[in-house]
Chains A and B, each alone.
Chain A
Amino acid sequence: MEQFLQQMASGLANGAIYACVALALVMIFVSTDHINFAQGEMAMFSTYLSWQLMTWGANFWVAFVAAVLLSFVLGVVIERVVLRPLHTAPVLSIVVVFIGLLAICNSVAGAIWSYLLKEFPSPFPKTDFGIPGLIGPHQLGVVVITLLVLTALFVFFRYTPLGLAMRAAAQNPQMARLVGVRVDWMLALGWGLAAAVGAVAGIMVAHIVYLDPNMMGGILLYAFASALVGGISNPGGAVAGGFIVGVLENLVAYLGSQLEKTTGVYIIGNGEKLTVALIIVIFVLTVKPAGLFGRVVVKRV
């Protein structure tokens, strides 16, 4: 039982990470209808930035804030420079450009910092943090930090004029433009925010999976699953989806290991995590494309 609770708790911690990346994906999706395949690699790149700052002697939190701000700027620049000219391009072009971004981020990070695994520190005190026997200090810290980030974003979008303008630009660009919102800059800001939230996720997860250029591959797939489960057009849904998928992932692995212990038959375990994500993605896309909380898109023919 205790092991079960532990698994659930670490599922929540993973879920927090998925929730962040899923939220970043959703932020770009609602405003542009694009699925950002490079989101994971952008987050990985930001994580390397913070690692570099730390090796230059910066404090963890200083490096954290600096990397998040840098990612914000990079996100804005990518939107303005790379994606803006392709605004009316066909879907295939957009997908290809995202894959190009993914390849560039991955290979440049590998070129600068090498493909060797690096240890990444945890900022949370080992003692008097976390609940012994249930959740470790880093995992609890991850959950707390992501919840803080999500609350901040919620407050930003709900209660500030800029947040309102961004929501308007995403929901109805033409009307927003008529009332004086600079829609294209709002899209760029959305990209920046997405990159920043992704950076938070990357920096938080690097302590768990170790830092290397391919660390976000599996996490991105889980984030896709989370965003889809929650409904890819619903930010709150994406966060809920993240936690659901995180817990589900660990639950499946736990049940698999219990099954192996009791009956000796191996069906599923940690080695099949990505397959589970694939099944979730295809299942949701084909059976309930709107997800749990998304709105059903009705197309007029």
Chain B
Amino acid sequence: MANATAAAALAPRRTWIWWVIGIAAVVPLLRGVVPDIVSDYRLFLVTTMMIAAIAVLGLNLLTGFNGQISLGHGAFYAVGAYVAAVAMEQANCPYWLTIPLAAVICFGFGFLFGLPALKLEGHYLALATFALALAVPQMLKYKWLEGLTGGVQGIVLSKPSAPFGLPLSEDQWLYYFTLTVMVVLYWAAHNILNSRSGRAMKAIRDHQMAADTMGIDTARYKTVTFGISAAYTGIAGAISASVIAFVAPDSFTFFLSIKFLIGLVVGGVGSLLGSVLGGIFYVLVDNSAQSLAQFIKRDLGLAFDLSAYTVFGVLLILLMYFMPQGLAGGVIRLWRAIRR
């Protein structure tokens, strides 16, 4: 009975999501009709937003639904991107095959990192993952891997073109490709969370000892969640290698992990839909911060180079004060309060 009402409550929401997906699928086709509004560059931008959404989704699975804090997801993103780039460059692997490849390898890395993480909680886990994020750019420059990774220079790739002779530009095709991957991963995450395993994950987050007493194998769930989370973020990295067509160690500094964190916090910790919004949000801010900085410098005449990270930092702190449930959750709550 409870299930039926839950399904009924979800039903209108589902149609709503189908509408969004439908619109997202149609828009790129308008490129021929209104080229000023739907340009290749804008499609590329939306693609990077979807990539960000996937990465934040991965982080949210771990931090939001399993309660393990990670400041180092940039590391898994980097591994995913490098796996894809090396596979395409060295082994002529087709770009779509790099997605499962990156997923499997990042799952392995995440699982392995999850093992020591079992012994750490709260601040200590944050510290260990922080260290991981700081060390990764250096590891990518490691001399023995230079033959594969191209050292400091990184790897330059070429964007894949549409298959089967479809009349789509590269950016249009990558848009669809990313959209498909994102929808599938979102659906998968949604199903995982509403399954027995998902409830176990959340139980561990809420009270690990109670979960343990109820017979949940907490160690297994925590490590596997770490692996799945890393796989999600790694997939995002792998797509980014194809979309941006370039990987280099210095694109994966600690600040990348800060971006994921802002996506997580803005969207709402423990909200799937919020992860998507958070991913979109940080790419938007990242891109508009430049024009805002120019505005401050040129039009206001202040000698101040605003960077997106100032905005991010202020937002991180303010959100923790006023909307710990995230910008999206906070707005929804406000809206409900007003309607009442």
A interface residue numbers (CB < 8 A to B): 33-35, 37, 82, 85-86, 89, 91-97, 99-108, 110-112, 114, 217-218, 220-221, 224-225, 266, 269, 271-275, 277-278, 281-282, 285-286, 289, 301
- Known contacts A110-B307, A286-B120, A104 near B254 by CB under 8 Å: no
Interface stretch of the complex, out of B2-10, B121-129, B157-165, B217-225: B121-129
Q: Which 9 A-B pairs have the closest CB atoms?
A: A100-B316, A103-B313, A104-B313, A107-B309, A278-B135, A91-B122, A100-B317, A111-B305, A274-B135
Decide: B128 and A285 in contact? CB cutoff 8 A: yes
Decide: A271 and B142 in contact? CB cutoff 8 A: yes
Q: Label chain B's interface by main secondary structure.
A: helix
Give the distance to chain A from B236, nearest Cβ to Cβ, in Å. 20
Closest B residue, CB atoms, query A93: B320
B117-151 CB mask vs A (1 if < 8 Å, else 0) is 00110111011101110110011011110000000
Determine whether B310 belongs to the interface, using a CB cutoff of 8 Å to chain A.
yes
Decide: A217 and B134 in contact? CB cutoff 8 A: yes
Q: Which of A99, A269, A281, A285 has the most CB of B within 10 A?
A: A99
Interface size class of B (residues with CB under 8 A): 35 or more
Decide: B324 and A93 in contact? CB cutoff 8 A: yes
CA distance A285 to B120 in the complex (A): 7
Determine whether B25 belongs to the interface, using a CB cutoff of 8 Å to chain A.
no
Decide: A221 and B134 in contact? CB cutoff 8 A: yes
Give the distance to chain A from B164, nearest Cβ to Cβ, in Å. 45
CA distance A38 to B297 in the complex (A): 27
Decide: B139 and A82 in contact? CB cutoff 8 A: no
Residues of B within 8 A of A85 (CB): 321
Closest B residue, CB atoms, query A83: B317
Closest A residue, CB atoms, query B127: A35
Decide: B269 and A278 in contact? CB cutoff 8 A: no
Among A34, A82, A103, the residue within 8 A (CB) of B309 is A103
Determine whether B258 belongs to the interface, using a CB cutoff of 8 Å to chain A.
yes
B35-79 CB mask vs A (1 if < 8 Å, else 0) is 000000000000000000000000000010000010100000000
CA distance A92 to B134 in the complex (A): 19
